[in-house]
Every structure is written in structure tokens, then in C-alpha cells.
Amino acid sequence: MNKDLSISADEMVWQNRIFDSLSYPSVIISPDKTLVGANKKFYEAFNLSFNEIFGKKCYHTFLYKDTPCNSDQCTISKVIKDKKSHSFTLKHHYRWEERVFSPILDDNGDVAYVIGSIRDITRTKSLEGQLHGVKEFISRVIHSSASAIIAADRQGNINLMNSVAKELFGDYNGGEGKIKHTEQLYPPGKAKEIMGMLRNEKIGGAGKLLIPRTTIVNAHGKNIEVEMSAAIIYDEKGNESATMAIYNDLKDKIKIENELKMTQKQLSQSEKMASLGQLAAGVAHEINNPLTGILFYASLLLERKDIDESMVEDLGYILEDANRCKEIVKSLLVYSRSQGTKKNIVQLNDIVQQSLALIRDQKKFRNIKIKKALSDEMMLINADTSKLNQVLINLVINAADAMNGSGTITLTTYKEKAIGKVFLEIKDKGEGIPHENLSKIFDPFFTTKDVGKSTGLGLSIVYGLIEEHEAKISVKKTGSQGTTFIIEFPMYVASKDGLSLCKPYC
Ligand SMILES: Nc1ncnc2c1ncn2[C@@H]1O[C@H](COP(=O)(O)OP(=O)(O)O)[C@@H](O)[C@H]1O
Ligand SMILES: [Mg+2]
């Protein structure tokens, strides 16, 4: 060995023993990259003899090549230059090795030799690979989830947001998101409240929380209803290390719920009408016979010559009231649908014109202006003309009543091909319908008008007639500016095979 490192024979023996007892295969290399010694582990591991390595160049033995490395890349050159350890990893066949090179300094502090030891890191590398695979998999699961997922550190700084979360919170912003902290995800004060609930064992268990419906705020300040579940992530020692939350937008669920509520409301209205209809039909038939008698005998009496003036007047009242009853009975019979239906394919606008002609000369409409906004497109519906006339007359009379006999009523027709529907709207500038009455206006006998003036049967009859046309009626808008009723009919089209029901986009 180098004279600067000259040592006694005894020391030499000990140093060789120490070298041999190192658990990693190691070699001693001179600054000119020649191998000058190796420990027992090295000979065993590489199955080489002293003669096979002594005097060989390091690139022979270590890199399995005949030419020296580029000096910039040579780790041994770096060790000599820096007087510090350097290492690199290398894969040889299926084996991964970490090769660590350290300087052995002489008395002057110069590098006399370099000791290189080789560690087999195949297992560590394989575990690293597995860990990377698991990480990749978890990341793919998070990013391909249909739910929005957000994770934050203990201070609430957001460090993960999957693509659904970015979309839900509207936080694209060219990749540089505006949302950085969990407090930005909720209305003011809510984030703290959620953290409190999350830590509360009584709510969903410690570190867990499920809120079926809550509000979040997106990057544009808009409130969104979501279902959320949250959890605290603990490290292996059981300390809180992060939090995560999963959100599902309730938009579609709320829409379906509302539609269901509407359908239920319509169903219960139809059931109510059906049972009341049966009752009404029964009552109407029962009253009809005695009423005919009253009218008949009262008119007989009126024709007698031997009655005085005052009796004639009283009989006049009897006849008037009995006739009013007859009208009500007639309405009840219409309401109970005891009359047959004769439907034809007709132009909606024609029915509107016809109905308006029927009321034109009535006293009630003297100060009412009727504006027509009728689409000039072909709008065919399958209708019983006289029944639809009744519908329109009832609605127009109600509109005139709501305006106390003066103002403008607008009738609008249009169609929407995309959904295969034809629409008729009746708009007035009247007093509007109070919110609490909206669920009652289609009920038979519901009226807010003076007793004796109105029967409260108008809209219930309208409802029944509209149902007979597979159509729908509802209040589109109401308030102090007036009320708009809307009727939606299935649309028919003329094709070469005749007239047929229009499927959407027909
Ligand atoms: N266009 C309207 N504007 C305001 N209220 C209306 C309108 N149409 C109907 N209503 C309300 O609905 C009630 C029921 O109407 P309806 O069944 O036609 O009975 P009636 O006209 O005999 O009162 C009315 O009394 C009124 O309160
Ligand atoms: Mg009415």
C-alpha cells in the first residue's frame, strides 16, 4: 500500500480483518482507477480470485467494459476531486446495486485510495416500484372518481382536488386555481362548523361525517346543494395528518324530486276531482228532477190570470233562482264529464278565434281589450272544439274578473318542436292569486268572489276538460302584475300517412 499510509504488520493484519468483516462487498481502488484489493465479501459475491481483480481497471470489474468512463461522469474522479463520498445506482441483469465510493486520505489530506462498497438494493427497488404502483393506482382512482374529492392539510390548505371537484367548484382558471383553503369551499363560518362536527364522536363517529344535504360555494360565489362525506386522515401514530371530503352535486336529484312532487300533486288533484266528480254527478241528477218540477209549476202559475201583481214578481224571483240552479246543475254535469267527447284535429288558433267571437259582445268585456299574439305556424291539436271553447271562455272570464272589468288580456300561442308541444297562454293584468290559494283554485266550489255571483266551478271544469285532451294546465306566473295561465297540448303533424302525434323533433 501507499507509503503515506505505512503501518506495522500487526496493524495491517487488523485492518484486513476489519475490511473482511464489512457486510458489503468492498474494493480498494488507487487514484489511477486500478483495483488494489478487495474484501472477503467481494470475492464471495462476485466469485472472483485475488489474481482476477488485482491490477485490473475499475471499469473492467465494475462496469463490464474495456474503455475508461468519460472523466466528467466518473464517480471515482469526483471522489478524488471533492474528497467526499459519491454514489450511483446501477442495474445489472435483474440486480439493482448501489455503489458508494469514499476517499481514504493520507497524512497530507490527499486522496490516497478510494474505497468502493456495493450494496444489493434489488429488494428496496422492488418495494419502491410497488409503492409507486400503489400511489399511481390510488391517484387514478381519485382522479377517475365520479364524485368530487378534495384533501387538505391540518391547516386547511388544499393539496388535492380531482377533476370533478375542479368542475363542481368552477376552479379551472387556466390551471392556477383560486381555491386554496377549505374555508373558501363553504359559506362563512361553515368550514369551522364542519371541522367541529367531524371531531365530534356523536356525529357519524370520531373523524367521520356524512351530511346528506349542505351548501357549498363555488369559485364564482354561487351556492350549490351537495351531499358530502368527510374524514380525518390519521398517520400511523394516530395523529391527525390531513382531512378529505367527497361531494356529490344534488342538482339532478333535486330536479327529479321536484318533478316527482309535481306529479304527486297532479295525481292527488286528479283523484280529488274524480271522486268529487262522481259525487257531483249524483247530486246533479237528484236535483235535476225536482228542479224541473219547480220550473214547470212556477211557469204554469205565472201564466194564470187570477194572480195579483206582487205574486207575479215573487214567481219571477222563483223562476230566476231556479234557472240559476239549473245552470249550476248543468255545470256540475259538465264537470262530472257525463257528456261525450268529439275530438278532431284542429288548428289551435281557430279555436282561440272562435271562443273570442263567442264572448265579444258580452257586457263584461265592454272595457276589456283582448290582444292576440298568435303564432302563424301550423299548430294542430286533437280537440273537442266546444269543450275547448268552454275552457277559453272560463279563463277569459276569470281574467276579466281579476281586472275588475277593465284592462288588457293577452292570448299567446306558440309551439316547441323539440318537445312536441303546443302552448296557449292567457295573461291578465289583474290582482294576482295569493300563494296560499294556488293549491285550491282548481278545486270545485273554491271561489273568492261574492256568494251568489260565482259558483267556484269554472277552473275545476277547465281542469277536467284539459285532462280529457291529454293536456296540462298550470299557473305560469302570478303576482301583483297579473296572472298567466299556461296550457300545454300534445302536438299533431300532417304527414303523408295522415295526421299523427308528434314525437319530439318531428
Ligand atoms: N286570472 C285570475 N286572476 C286571479 N285569480 C283568479 C284567476 N282565475 C281564477 N282565480 C281565482 O280562482 C278562483 C276559482 O276560479 P273559478 O274556479 O273559475 O271560480 P269562480 O270564477 O267562480 O270564482 C277565483 O275565485 C279566483 O280567486
Ligand atoms: Mg270562474
For 160-171, the pLDDT digits (tens) are: 999 899 999 987
| Statement: residue 334 has pLDDT above 80 | no
Give the number of the ligand closest to the Cα of residue 444.
1
Distance, in Å, from the CA atom of 390 to the CA atom of 392, rounded to the nearest integer, reads 6
| Statement: residue 311 has pLDDT above 60 | yes
Ligand 1 center to residue 492 CA distance, Å? Answer: 31
Cβ of 430 below 6 Å from ligand 1: yes
| Statement: residue 172 has pLDDT above 60 | no
Mutating to test ligand 1, I would choose from 437, 447, 480, 486 the residue with most ligand atoms within 8 A of its C-beta, which is 447
Report phi then psi at 216, rounded to 5: -115, 165
Q: How confident is the model at residue 1, as a pLDDT?
A: 45
Ligand 1 center to residue 447 CA distance, Å? Answer: 6
Ligand 1 center to residue 71 CA distance, Å? Answer: 99
Residue 333 binned pLDDT confidence (cut-offs 50, 70, 90): confident
Mutating to test ligand 1, I would choose from 335, 392, 398 the residue with most ligand atoms within 8 A of its C-beta, which is 398
Cβ of 441 below 6 Å from ligand 1: yes
247-258, pLDDT tens digit by residue?
Answer: 999 998 998 888
373, 412 contact by CB (below 8 A): yes
205-225, pLDDT tens digit by residue?
Answer: 788 999 999 999 998 889 999
Ligand 2 center to residue 160 CA distance, Å? Answer: 61
Q: Tell which wins on pLDDT, 127 or 505.
A: 127
- Neighbouring CB atoms inside 10 A of 216's CB total 21
When pLDDT is averaged across residues 36-58 and rounded to a whole number, the result is 89
pLDDT above 70 coverage of the chain, percent = 94
Question: Which range, of 45-59, 99-113, 163-177, 237-251, averages the lowest pLDDT?
Answer: 163-177
Residue 145 binned pLDDT confidence (cut-offs 50, 70, 90): very high
Residue 257 grid coordinates: 324530486
Residue 404 grid coordinates: 275588475
Instruction: Give me the chain's average pLDDT, please.
Output: 88
Cβ of 458 below 6 Å from ligand 1: yes
Ligand 1 center to residue 5 CA distance, Å? Answer: 115
When pLDDT is averaged across residues 125-134 and rounded to a whole number, the result is 92
Architecture of domain 145-249: 2-Layer Sandwich (3.30)
Q: Which of 406, 401, 393, 413 is nearest to 461 (CA)?
A: 393
Q: How confident is the model at residue 438, as a pLDDT?
A: 94
Architecture of domain 344-501: 2-Layer Sandwich (3.30)
Ligand 2 center to residue 459 CA distance, Å? Answer: 6
Q: How confident is the model at residue 384, as a pLDDT?
A: 93
475, 484 contact by CB (below 8 A): yes
Alpha helices in 336-456 (DSSP H): 348-359, 385-402
Residue 392 binned pLDDT confidence (cut-offs 50, 70, 90): very high
Cβ of 182 below 6 Å from ligand 1: no
Domains 3-122 and 145-249 share a fold: yes
Residue 3 binned pLDDT confidence (cut-offs 50, 70, 90): very low
Cβ of 85 below 6 Å from ligand 1: no
Cβ of 454 below 6 Å from ligand 1: yes
383, 346 contact by CB (below 8 A): yes
The amino acid present at 49, given as its one-letter code, is S
Cβ of 459 below 6 Å from ligand 1: yes
Q: Which of 296, 320, 316 is nearest to 307 (CA)?
A: 316
Q: How confident is the model at residue 427, as a pLDDT?
A: 98
Architecture of domain 255-335: Up-down Bundle (1.20)
Give domain limits for the chain. 3-122, 145-249, 255-335, 344-501
Ligand 1 center to residue 349 CA distance, Å? Answer: 24
CATH topology of domain 3-122: Beta-Lactamase (3.30.450)
Cβ of 59 below 6 Å from ligand 1: no
